[in-house]
Homo-oligomer: A and B are copies of this chain.
Amino acid sequence: MLQETLEHGRRLTDAALERLIPAETQHPVSIHKAMRHSVFAGGKRLRPVLCMEAGRMIAGSLPAGIEELGAALEMLHTYSLIHDDLPALDNDDLRRGRPTCHKAFGEAIAILAGDALQTQAYEALARLRCPAESRVRIIEEIARGTGTVEGMIGGQVVDLEAERSKPTAEMLEYIHRSKTAALITASLVSGGLYAGATDDEVRKLRAFGQSVGLAFQIVDDILDVTQTSEQLGKTAGKDTAAQKATYPALFGLEESERQADSLVKSALEQLQGFGERANTLKELARYLVERKK
């Protein structure tokens, strides 16, 4: 059942990405090849799936066209991966088992491909098939979730700075909440807004996203320690090697697992009021902490 949800969401998202990103034959071809290289690298499309299921929960069925919102979220996630992988940042050669964008296309094109995916995402958001009032709220929500104050870029900056110092628990929580949980939260909230969620429903989706998003990143830290590169499809033990700030490094494995479980429990409580309609989002939340890669 959950596998079907994930698979269906992935297919809808991929079809929307296919429509929204210019073809490889479109001039200038190098940038479109680079964008597609990174976007179609076999991701799980978790953020789009969370977005679509939030929309389905609010509306009672999948709102028409919501996959374009999912695709925009995936473009933003991919832009951040391309830039994170650059030599000046994490300096990664492999991503999902393929050469990273700058390895395949050179640094200049990789920088521009990341830029372009961000641009293309906002163009797609401006054209969503929901009222203009909802579109501007969605754009604001997503820009904040990927911004510098409590969003993705802010988390990335503190993560970089933490490599040169011994991070405190507070700093680590800021990094994880901003770098990962903020875009996951924006995915859920924007899916709700697309479906016409009330302010109270938005508040619940936000609280759910903040807890699930942080749990997701703690589990990512744990998997980096406990799984092999083969199991992950990316270099394992990388965080330790880079002396990255992680939950297992700071709290130990057992306490990290306890915290992830406790966050998911409190996330599930946020969805009580939605009754059975919340079942899929609840299943997704449990999947995010039980996954093995």
Contact = CB atoms under 8 A, between A and B. Distances in A.
Interface of A: 22, 26-28, 30-32, 35, 79, 83, 86, 88-89, 106-109, 111-112, 114-116, 118-120, 122-123, 125-127, 131-133, 135-137, 139-140, 143-144, 146-149, 151, 153-154, 156-158, 160-161
A111 B28 CA distance: 22
Name, among A107, A122, A123, the residue most crowded by chain B CB atoms within 10 Å (CB to CB). Answer: A122
Q: What number of copies of this chain does the assembly contain?
A: 2
27 contacts: A26-B149, A28-B148, A31-B148, A31-B157, A79-B115, A83-B111, A88-B107, A88-B108, A88-B111, A89-B111, A108-B160, A109-B157, A109-B160, A112-B156, A116-B147, A116-B148, A118-B118, A119-B151, A120-B143, A122-B139, A123-B144, A125-B139, A126-B137, A126-B140, A127-B136, A135-B136, A136-B136
B148 A123 contact: no
Contacts of A153: 31, 112, 115-116, 119
Contacts of A120: 143, 147-148
Nearest to A110: B88
A115 B22 contact: no
A200 to B, nearest CB: 22
B136 A30 contact: no
Contacts of A119: 118, 143, 146-148, 151, 153
Contacts of A31: 148, 153-154, 157
A123 B136 CA distance: 9
A280 B118 CA distance: 34
Leading 8 A-B pairs by shortest Cβ distance: A123-B143, A88-B107, A132-B132, A126-B139, A126-B140, A28-B157, A88-B108, A126-B136
Contacts of A131: 132
A116 B106 CA distance: 22
A157 to B, nearest CB: 4
Contacts of A160: 108-109
Given A89-B108, A112-B83, A135-B136, A28 B161 contact: yes
Given A31-B157, A89-B111, A118-B118, 19 more contacts: A26-B148, A28-B157, A28-B158, A30-B161, A83-B112, A88-B108, A89-B108, A112-B157, A116-B153, A120-B148, A123-B139, A123-B140, A123-B147, A126-B137, A127-B136, A132-B132, A132-B133, A132-B136, A136-B136
Contacts of A88: 106-108, 111
